[in-house]
A and B are shown apart, each in its own frame.
Chain A
Amino acid sequence: MKHILNLYENINSTARNNSDCPAVILPEEIFFTVSIVGVLENLMVLLAVAKNKSLQSPMYFFICSLAISDMLGSLYKILENVLIMFRNMGYLEPRGSFESTADDVVDSLFILSLLGSICSLSVIAADRYITIFHALQYHRIVTRHRALIVLTVLWAGCTGSGITIVTFSHHVPTVIAFTALFPLMLAFILCLYVHMFLLARSHARRTSSPPRANMRGAVTLTVLLGVFIFCWAPFVLHVLLMTFCPADPYCACYMSLFQVNGVLIMCNAIIDPFIYAFRSPELRVAFKKMVICNWYQ
């Protein structure tokens, strides 16, 4: 992944100037702003849950897991920009051992945040599914203890996978496994949510609810899944094209937009709290209380 993730640093090389698709370079201020906003927002979500005993339930643990993974993604961007700035200012050697180790660590952080984000979204969907379809047993199936165990196992798995992927990033099977994870998780989440939606629809049918209400469910589902797809798919396609057709002119033109894809992933970290965490009125109330208390102190 290193060669993929650090590609945009080679933008200024003369090899790039030979192509007709100039790389789209976004100013670093945009990356910094987006990352810092993402970190702050997700930190607020974590603080709101940590400070309120009433919010410490499995559902909010899963939302916190998503917030942590989004925060890690934004932190990765900040760290990488800082490293690049140091390198441009000459404090770091271009190919020093410290620098390549730092690159590895930072890249594995990114892969970890990506995997963590995908796994958290799946776990949130599964939690909601159990809530609906096994509502009576939910309290027995999804306990706080089990939720923490599931999250620990997931994050340990993601960390191990992240380190493995970064270590073996030059091998094709690694890339295929990595990119296959995205459509698999998407299909899983899609199935769960569509099943829930069908249940809601059949119930709404029985109660003769206005079609506008059903429309809102459709809009919500589309937003949830659409944000996931729009933010992650460009990067996944970039990884695929990088591995299989790096010299092809069409692929090269797509890959010239790498920084735009990176910004989309950062935007996902900003949008996720709004469509998951802040949907809950309890968390919103807790959040407002926290902000107002800090404001008055």
Chain B
Amino acid sequence: MSAQRLISNRTSQQSASNSDYTWEYEYYEIGPVSFEGLKAHKYSIVIGFWVGLAVFVIFMFFVLTLLTKTGAPHQDNAESSEKRFRMNSFVSDFGKPLEPDKVFSSQGNEESRSFFHCYISEADPLEKAKACLQTTALDSEVHLQEAIRCSGRPEEELNRLMKFDIPNFVNTDQNSFGEDDLLISETPIVLENKPVVQTSHQELD
């Protein structure tokens, strides 16, 4: 009896009190939280979480930056002059956003238009090599040269070359050269590549 009266008192008190209380038990019941005897600051989880997140992201950035600076440079002296001829910043900029499916689908097409003719063609005239040097500036230049020179093994070189092709990823915006973008490529060789890419796109449309 007394228990029932107690319960009915409680429910009547609840209904008599602020009607917002009725929201409580449809949703998760959260009673009043006592804030006494706190050892640390009350927002310590908030501050700790955000500081930890910022530290993690900055740490990740520094690790990536350090990775770019450390490591033994591995250069071939014989090809250093041609390397400087190319766009050096491409690979680190994660390459030109050339869709590999378009590029590969153009393999069977006009070889003169696709810059992949450099890899496939086994005839190795010097003019083609020079044209390749110019038009494939956005690719892994070292292996390109090797592919052109060692035309007897085009597939292997093609494999190695394609391995370093990082399309799509971020940027190199050919159209807005002057933009202050994160990964915009800097060298003017990019612009030379534009007509090749555009024609290859046009022929695929």
Q: Which residues of A contact B (CB under 8 A)?
A: 2-4, 6-7, 9-10, 12-15, 18-21, 53-54, 57-59, 94-95, 128, 131-133, 135-136, 138-139, 142, 194, 196-223, 225-226, 229-230, 233-234, 237, 241-242, 246-254, 257, 279-282, 284-285
Majority secondary structure, A binding face: helix
Min distance, Cβ B12 to any Cβ of chain A, angstroms = 17
Tell me if B99 and A59 are in contact (CB < 8 A).
yes
Q: How far is the CA of A20 from the CA of B170 in the complex (A)?
A: 46
Q: How far is the CA of A220 from the CA of B164 in the complex (A)?
A: 18
Q: How far is the CA of A220 from the CA of B168 in the complex (A)?
A: 13
Tell me if A230 and B53 are in contact (CB < 8 A).
yes
Q: Which of A14, A135, A139 contacts B105 (CB 8 A)?
A: A139
Task: Please name all residues of chain B whose beta carbon is closer than 8 Å to the beta carbon of A284 when the two chains form the complex.
Answer: 173, 175
Min distance, Cβ A244 to any Cβ of chain B, angstroms = 12
Tell me if A138 and B183 are in contact (CB < 8 A).
no
- Supplied contacts A57-B101, A138-B100, A229-B56, 4 more A-B pairs, CB within 8 Å: A4-B28, A128-B166, A135-B162, A222-B60
A21 with B43, Cβ < 8 A, contacts A135-B100, A225-B57 known: yes
Interface residues of B in 31-86 (CB under 8 A from A): 31-35, 38, 40, 42-46, 49, 53, 56-57, 60-61, 64-65, 67-69, 71-76, 80, 83-84, 86
Tell me if A132 and B74 are in contact (CB < 8 A).
no
Majority secondary structure, B binding face: loop
A229 with B67, Cβ < 8 A, contacts A203-B91, A222-B60 known: no
A14 with B21, Cβ < 8 A, contacts A54-B205, A221-B64, A247-B30 known: yes
Tell me if A215 and B65 are in contact (CB < 8 A).
yes
Min distance, Cβ B138 to any Cβ of chain A, angstroms = 12
Q: Which residues of B contact A (CB under 8 A)?
A: 17-18, 20-24, 26-28, 30-35, 38, 40, 42-46, 49, 53, 56-57, 60-61, 64-65, 67-69, 71-76, 80, 83-84, 86, 88-95, 97, 99-102, 104-105, 140-142, 158-159, 162-176, 182-183, 186, 201, 204-205
Q: Which of B49, B71, B170 contacts A201 (CB 8 A)?
A: B71
A-B CB contact pairs (8 Å), 29 listed = A10-B24, A20-B35, A21-B43, A59-B168, A95-B26, A138-B101, A138-B104, A139-B101, A197-B64, A199-B163, A205-B71, A205-B73, A208-B75, A208-B83, A209-B89, A213-B92, A215-B65, A218-B64, A219-B183, A233-B49, A242-B28, A249-B34, A249-B38, A252-B33, A253-B42, A253-B45, A279-B170, A282-B97, A282-B201
Task: Please name all residues of chain B whose beta carbon is closer than 8 Å to the beta carbon of A94 when the two chains form the complex.
Answer: 22-23
Q: How far is the CA of A13 from the CA of B174 in the complex (A)?
A: 57
Tell me if B23 and A10 are in contact (CB < 8 A).
yes
Q: Which of A194, A210, A251 contacts B88 (CB 8 A)?
A: A210
Tell me if A225 and B23 are in contact (CB < 8 A).
no
Min distance, Cβ A178 to any Cβ of chain B, angstroms = 16
Tell me if A211 and B89 are in contact (CB < 8 A).
no
The number of A-B residue pairs with CB atoms under 8 Å apart is 248
Task: Please name all residues of chain B whose beta carbon is closer than 8 Å to the beta carbon of A196 when the two chains form the complex.
Answer: 94, 166, 169
Tell me if A250 and B163 are in contact (CB < 8 A).
no
Counting chain B CB atoms within 10 Å of each CB, the highest count among A205, A213, A251, A285 belongs to A213
Tell me if A197 and B168 are in contact (CB < 8 A).
no
With CB as the reference atom, state the residue of chain B lying closest to A54. B205
Q: Which of B27, B32, B84 contacts A2 (CB 8 A)?
A: B27
Q: Which of A15, A136, A214, A253 contacts B32 (CB 8 A)?
A: A15
Q: Which of A9, A200, A216, A249 contacts B166 (CB 8 A)?
A: A200
Tell me if B158 and A136 are in contact (CB < 8 A).
yes
Q: How far is the CA of A14 from the CA of B182 in the complex (A)?
A: 49
Tell me if B92 and A217 are in contact (CB < 8 A).
yes
Task: Please name all residues of chain B whose beta carbon is closer than 8 Å to the beta carbon of A57 when the two chains form the complex.
Answer: 99, 101-102
Tell me if B67 and A197 are in contact (CB < 8 A).
yes
Tell me if A217 and B68 are in contact (CB < 8 A).
yes
A132 with B165, Cβ < 8 A, contacts A201-B92, A223-B182, A282-B97 known: yes
A213 with B33, Cβ < 8 A, contacts A128-B169, A132-B165, A204-B68 known: no
Task: Please name all residues of chain A whose beta carbon is closer than 8 Å to the beta carbon of B91 when the two chains form the complex.
Answer: 200, 203-204, 207, 209, 213
